[in-house]
Amino acid sequence: MSRNAKVAVGGVAVGLILLFWLPWWVALLIIVGVPAAAYLTLDPSQRRRLRRVARKEIGR
């Protein structure tokens, strides 16, 4: 299993645990809010690079 797959599986597991442990709206805020905040902290050149890489991987 690749490193990215392990991270994805871990993220799903943490998300499911949070849904059972916290109210659903808090878990949703964490699951959606943390990646959104991380994206917003990137400078414009890093955001462009991230979008370009994501599009290349989708077209594989």
pLDDT tens, the chain, 60 aa long: 788 889 889 988 888 888 888 888 887 887 788 888 989 999 999 989 888 887 666 655
- Output the pLDDT for position 60: 53
User: What pLDDT score does 43 carry?
Assistant: 93
**pLDDT confidence of residue 57:** 63
**C-alpha span between 47 and 44 (Å, rounded):** 5
Could you tell me the sign of the dihedral formed by the alpha carbons of 5, 50, 57, 59, in that order? positive
Residue appearing with tokens 């871990």: 10
> Is 18 in contact with 30 (CB distance < 8 Å)?
yes
Query: Which tokens in the block code for residue 17?
Result: 């645990």
The values of phi and psi at residue 43, to 5°, are -80, 165
- Answer yes or no: are the C-beta atoms of 24 and 32 closer than 8 Å: no
